């Protein structure tokens, strides 16, 4: 009787060990799957972001920025213009769900003055600004500047 009880305890102990190993194995496999999928998603997002930054930094994009600035201020990027300088706000670069790349151009090193640009690629491969607009303070400055020139 005592031997049967010991055998039963030993068998029960073995079953618990097997259950624990099985649980740890399943947990390890699940963790590995999550790490692999998470790494793949991270790398895909990083590659996509790098491609967008390459487009944002391209010479063709720079032409689009300057044309957009000239449309807002005909004397932009000259000593007579209201818009004297610009820089790309790289933190604002993001994919537009409707297509294209959205970003902000910071004007005259003032974060309150900016123009939103949506870079879009035409069928022939040229980049264009498909939408956007200026911040309210910039629009006010441009409007007052245009009034003074009239």
For residue 69, the model assigns a pLDDT of: 94
Residue 105 CB burial class (10 angstroms; 0-12, 13-18, ≥19): buried
Q: What b/e string do you get for 48-62 counting C-beta neighbours within 10 Å, with b at 16 or more?
A: eeeebeebbeeeebe
139 and 85 belong to one structural domain? yes
Q: Tens of pLDDT along 82-127?
A: 999 999 999 999 999 988 999 999 999 999 999 999 999 999 989 9
Q: What is the DSSP letter of 125?
A: S
SS3 77: coil
124 and 86 in a common domain: yes
- 110-121 vs 127-134, strand pairing mode: antiparallel
Does 93 lie in the same domain as 21? no
Q: What is the CA angle 9-10-15, rounded to 5?
A: 95
**Domain co-membership, 44 together with 69:** no
pTM: 0.74
Q: Say yes or no: 2 and 22 in one domain.
A: yes
Q: What CATH number is associated with residue 86?
A: 3.10.450
pLDDT in tens, 53-71: 999 999 999 999 999 999 9
Domain span holding position 52: 1-57
93 three-state secondary structure: strand
Q: Do 64 and 51 share a structural domain?
A: no
Do 37 and 72 belong to one domain? no
Q: Are residues 50 and 64 in the same domain?
A: no
Half-sphere exposure of 120 (CA within 13 A, CB side): 13
Which pLDDT score, from 0 to 100, does residue 4 have? Answer: 85
Are residues 108 and 81 both part of a single domain?
yes
Residues 30 and 90 in one domain: no
- Same domain (yes/no): 51, 80: no
Number of structural domains in the chain = 2
Question: Is 49 found in the same domain as 72?
Answer: no
Provide the pLDDT confidence category of residue 147 given band limits of 50, 70 and 90.
Answer: low
């Amino acid at each position: 009787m005592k031997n049967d009880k010991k055998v039963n305890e030993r068998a029960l102990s073995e079953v618990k060990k097997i259950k624990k190993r099985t649980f740890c194995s399943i947990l390890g496999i699940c963790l590995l799957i999550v790490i692999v999928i998470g790494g793949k998603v991270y790398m895909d997002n990083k590659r996509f972001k790098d491609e967008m930054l390459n487009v944002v930094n391209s010479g063709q994009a720079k032409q689009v920025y300057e044309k957009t600035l000239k449309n807002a201020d005909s004397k932009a990027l000259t000593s007579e213009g209201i818009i004297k300088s610009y820089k790309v706000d790289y933190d604002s670069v993001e994919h537009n769900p409707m297509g294209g790349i959205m970003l902000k151009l910071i004007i005259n090193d003032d974060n309150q003055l900016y123009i939103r640009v949506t870079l879009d690629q035409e069928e022939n491969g040229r980049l264009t600004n498909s939408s956007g607009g200026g911040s309210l303070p910039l629009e006010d400055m441009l409007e007052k500047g245009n009034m003074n020139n009239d």
